[in-house]
A and B are shown apart, each in its own frame.
Chain A
């Protein structure tokens, strides 16, 4: 019997690592992926898609095992490989994972910017919960607090803050103010190239009238 093709072997090991991850055995998953990565590093031909998947899953395992620096390194490589092979869906997933891994890594080091970013995200989440439960004025209170604090990390989420203010004001019947804030959100999305934001806030402006 001939030895299996390396790619086939890596795919099999990757599938096994996925199963271990699904069973929450991340140490086993990480060990399997480490072997695959070692073999891949010796090989001249590695399929880009598979390499990205292996790196991405290794990043997830590292996150679960608390190795945040490792998670950042693996996920950065996964993202780069996806971009190289033009895998937009993979790139979107690893962009989100990378943000999470960087924040966790920064927070673990006590990095003030990471801690502020986490706080901003938490407060936006709180504002969204308040809005979802019909407490629109209270939600706006949290959002205005964020704008007042003017932490540099808020800029990253400025469109969301303005957009949610606009939605809350619309629900409160303050249409003029709702329109102004939604326009600000839309402008911010155009500036940053946020296509989802442009689509949603354009629709919101149409709903506000």
Chain B
């Protein structure tokens, strides 16, 4: 029996979790500090990001010098196109510029730099259409009782954001095509008024005017109906393209509203606003309290006014009846609005007003809104929430985007600790996530919204993932098949056939927790297929395992036969939650039929999942995949493997050295461990 590994995660986990329940972020940061092995893209907690930000801030040159340095790239000579050159070629995208480096034989390297807006023919030819998706309102009739939208010109006319009851008649209830709906996520700067001095209103209005000007310019230069293009080589938009917000305005407003002639006229008109919109309108906003200048501009052009008329905002203070409520109807409307926030957000895109990124990330509502936008891929536009220099705004935006990359994983584990294991109450859960609300009474509601988000759809893969649970080794005749490689084959995964809505397996209801008696990492209760669960963490694995036990009949119907045993494996990038197993062991499993239950993303990207699939299919055993994140068409027969596959070793059952490693192992150690289990050298 193998009980130790140089890649053991035991000590790091013990250090990370030592001293009782800590904030989840702190546990993640401690784990990273103690981990002897981290990959290229390890977990990034807010604590780590703050440390990195401090280094960047200290390392920044004095402003004047930094300006000189920033200009240096712009002073280089620029080619029109890439001439025919022979030699090895590399590329790097820095900011908005692509640097192609050609290494001609026997000559020094040559750098050819192009703006992303005017790439060389070589890259233009390798690009595909990539418009931002149109809002749901463009193609669907949407009716949401009680929702009220604020037209941008109404905000301009008033000059500030009013309490909903003070401009109720000017708000719009219906959702129409040809409009862009924007959900504004922002902090409340005081308990009773979110924007006491009107700065948020001015910045928001001017930023949107700037985005409209940018959209008009991009549409005119690219062609109103021509889609944005994305380089298949670089993975970024190339050619004339605007910010995501400007592109959303093109798709949702300009195309339905204008023809080419009207666009030309508007292009000329907005050209006069270049100087005012160069910094996304921030300076103009700060110089225009009350928005009188913006009002004059909007009033001077019918076309511009028509575009602004079609930009609709949802800002809580301005669109939901505010306290004190006049009557029961207002209370009902307010409560209904809070319950349906996600629906409002999903109609359009989310604009985040970022004044203080640390406070933003501590705000329960702001975090929820960012996670909803992330989960539903509705786009997240960041704009400064107040008067901050451009570089500080960029730093805040970068910090928020980095923090949001792993935030869904931490939140999910906190919810699982609360709902699956009952380790803490909801208040403690929110506190350990570092989430607060201006009105503490809102926290239970935010918690309920977080529950409905379910498991994060994306996976974060890295060598620093911690593997725990049971690694199943299929038995094929006298041998046990051990995977010694985590590479995927290039074979395409066929589309799903039968359907089984398994999405509930990854959802928390807030009701009674699952029956933990069904949560063991290896269980046999009858004859039939063996189910392998590969989950993001142990708690998620327990949740899915209990779902499998509770839905045995549905599963049998979808698979055409019963499931008689299961094992689960957790591949956890953020092992900050409770680990009831906290060990990794191997088990030889005899079964004629295998079922893999995991998410679509994990099937594509997870190394541990790849190893399981390789072992089972190379053993010649039929394997079906049930995509846990899909409601239908989600049962797929995976292609059979190659019996001679070099990515596995067939080991006589009595020669296998099974592993049982307390604390599990970092993913970097999976292959060395597999070799040790197979009794062979690498």
Q: Which A residues form the contact surface with B (CB < 8 A)?
A: 22-26, 63-64, 66, 96, 100, 103-104, 107, 118, 121-122, 124-125, 128-129, 131-135, 138, 157, 159-160, 163-164, 167, 170-171, 185, 189, 194, 196-197, 199-201, 203-204, 206-208
Tell me the smallest distance from the CB of B276 to a CB of chain A, in Å. 14
Whether B274 lies near A138 (C-beta < 8 A) is: yes
Point out the residues of chain B lying under 8 angstroms from A124, CB to CB: 71, 74-75
Q: CB-CB < 8 A to B326: which residues of A? A: none
From A66, A121, A134, A199, give the contact of B217 (CB < 8 A): A134
B240 at the interface (CB under 8 A from A): yes
Does any Cβ of A come within 8 Å of B682's Cβ?
no
CB <8 Å contact, B118 and A171 = yes
Which residue on B lies nearest to A137, using beta carbons?
B271
Tell me whether A24 and B74 are in contact in the complex, defined as CB-CB below 8 angstroms, given that A63-B61, A134-B117, A204-B80 are known contacts: no
List residues of B (317-364) whose CB comes within 8 Å of A's CBs: none
CB nearest to B82 among chain A residues? A203
* B110 pairs with A207, CB closer than 8 A: no
Task: Provide the residues of chain A in CB contact with B70, threshold 8 Å.
Answer: 125
Tell me if B662 counts as interface (CB < 8 A to partner A): no
Residues of B within 8 A of A128 (CB): 74-75, 78
Name the A residues within 8 Å of B55 (CB-CB). Answer: 22-24
| A61: min CB distance to chain B, Å | 11
Contacts of B65 in A (CB 8 A): 63, 100, 104
Inter-chain pairs besides A135-B274, A185-B77, A207-B80, 17 sampled, C-beta below 8 Å? A24-B54, A26-B59, A64-B61, A100-B72, A103-B68, A104-B64, A107-B64, A125-B74, A128-B74, A132-B117, A134-B118, A135-B217, A138-B274, A189-B77, A197-B77, A200-B78, A203-B80
Chain A residues lying within 8 Å of B76, measured Cβ to Cβ, are: 160, 196
- Residues from chain A with Cβ under 8 Å of B83 in the complex: 203, 206-207
Let me know if A133 and B117 touch, CB within 8 A.
Answer: yes
A167:B71 contact, CB within 8 angstroms: no
CB distance from B236 to the nearest CB of A (A): 14
CB of A203 within 8 A of CB of B81, answer yes
Is B169 close to A, CB under 8 A? no
Which of B71, B81, B110, B117 contacts A122, CB < 8 Å?
B71
Which 10 interchain pairs have the tightest Cβ spacing? Answer: A24-B59, A24-B58, A132-B115, A125-B71, A128-B74, A125-B74, A207-B80, A203-B83, A200-B77, A134-B221
Chain A, Cβ-Cβ closest to B77? A200
B59 — which chain A residues lie within 8 A by C-beta?
A: 24, 26, 64
A160 and B75 form a contact (CB under 8 A): yes
Q: Closest residue of chain B to A170, judged by CB?
A: B80
Q: Which one of B62, B68, B97, B240 lies within 8 Å of A118 (CB-CB)?
A: B68
Partner among A129, A170, A194, A207 whose Cβ is within 8 Å of the Cβ of B74: A129
Question: Which of A25, A125, A135 gathers most chain B CB within 10 Å?
Answer: A125
- The reply to whether B75 and A125 contact each other, CB–CB distance below 8 Å, is yes
The 8 Å CB contact of A24, one of B56, B79, B218, B240, is B56
Q: Is the CB of A208 within 8 A of B74?
A: no
CB contacts (< 8 Å) of A26 on chain B: these are 59
A198's nearest neighbour on chain B, judged by CB, is B77
Write out the residue numbers on chain B whose beta carbons fall within 8 Å of the beta carbon of A160: 75-77
Give the complex CA separation of A103 and B58 in angstroms: 22
Establish whether residues A207 and B81, one from each chain, have CB atoms under 8 Å apart when the complex forms.
Answer: yes
How far, in Å, is A155 (CB) from chain B's closest CB? Answer: 14
Q: B560 at interface (Cβ–Cβ under 8 A)?
A: no
CB distance from B618 to the nearest CB of A (A): 45
Inter-chain contacts of A64 with B (CB < 8 A): 59, 61
* Chain A residues near B75 (CB-CB < 8 A): 121, 124-125, 128, 157, 160
Which residues B66-95 have CB closer than 8 A to chain A? 67-72, 74-83
In the complex, which residue of chain B has the Cβ closest to the Cβ of A101? Answer: B65
Provide the residues of chain B in CB contact with A164, threshold 8 Å.
Answer: 78
Cβ B80 vs Cβ A208 within 8 A: yes
Residues of B within 8 A of A207 (CB): 79-81, 83
Smallest distance from the beta carbon of B551 to chain A beta carbons, Å?
A: 53
| A163 and B78 within 8 A (CB) | yes
Flag if A199 contacts B80 (CB, 8 Å): no
How many Å lie between the Cα of A159 and that of B70 in the bound state?
A: 20
Q: Is B96 an interface residue (CB 8 A)?
A: yes
Is B7 in contact with chain A by the CB < 8 A criterion?
no
Q: Is B666 an interface residue (CB 8 A)?
A: no
Which residues of chain B (90-114) have a CB below 8 Å from chain A? 96-97, 110-112
Q: Which B residues touch A135, using CB under 8 A?
A: 217, 274
Contacts of B81 in A (CB 8 A): 203, 207
B240 close to A134 (CB less than 8 A): yes
Measured CA separation A111–B577 after assembly (Å): 60
Q: Complex Cα distance A132/B110, Å?
A: 21
**Does the CB pair B68–A121 fall under 8 Å?**
yes
CB closest chain-B residue, reference A199: B110
For B62, give its contact among A23, A66, A189, A204 (CB under 8 Å). Answer: A66
A-B contact pairs, 9 of them (CB 8 A): A24-B55, A24-B59, A125-B75, A131-B78, A135-B274, A138-B274, A164-B78, A167-B80, A203-B80
CA distance A115 to B423 in the complex (A): 64
* Distance in Å: Cβ of A168 to nearest Cβ of chain B: 10
| Closest chain B CB from A142 CB (angstroms) | 12
Contact B117 A25 (CB under 8 A): no
Q: For the complex, give the distance between the alpha carbons of A128 and B117 in Å.
A: 12
Closest residue on chain A to residue B83 by CB atoms? A203
* Residues of chain B contacted by A167 (CB below 8 angstroms): 78, 80
Q: How far is the CB of B211 from chain A (nearest CB, A)?
A: 14
Nearest CB of B to A115, in Å: 10
Cβ contacts under 8 Å, A125 to chain B:
70-71, 74-75
Instruction: For the complex formed, measure the closest distance between the CB of B328 and the CB atoms of chain A, giving whole angstroms.
Output: 54
Task: Tell me which residues across on chain B come within 8 A of A200, comparing CB atoms.
Answer: 77-79, 112
Closest Cβ of chain B: how far from A190's Cβ, in Å? 13
User: Would you call B77 and A132 a contact (CB within 8 A)?
Assistant: no
Cα A104 to Cα B112 in complex, Å, equals: 29
Q: How far is the CA of A204 from the CA of B78 in the complex (A)?
A: 9
| Shortest Cβ distance from residue B238 to the other chain A in the assembled complex, whole angstroms | 12
Interchain nearest-CB distance for A177 vs B (Å) = 14
Give B78's nearest chain A residue, CB to CB.
A167
Among residues of B, the one whose C-beta sits closest to the C-beta of A201 is B77
- A57 vs B539: C-alpha distance when bound (angstroms): 50
CB-CB < 8 A to A25: which residues of B?
58
Task: Write the nearest CB–CB distance from A180 to chain B, whole angstroms.
Answer: 15
**Docked pose: A171 CA to B239 CA in angstroms:** 13
Tell whether, in the assembled complex, residue B72 and residue A96 are in contact, meaning their CB atoms are under 8 Å apart.
Answer: yes
Kindly list chain B residues whose C-beta atoms are within 8 Å of the C-beta of A157: 75
Report chain B residues within 8 Å CB of A23: 55
**Residues of A contacting B57 with CB < 8 Å?**
24
List of B residues within 8 angstroms of A159 by Cβ? 77
Among residues of A, the one whose C-beta sits closest to the C-beta of B55 is A24
CB neighbours of A24 from chain B (8 A): 54-59
A26 to B60 alpha-carbon distance, docked (Å): 11
Within 8 A of A (CB), among B481-504: none
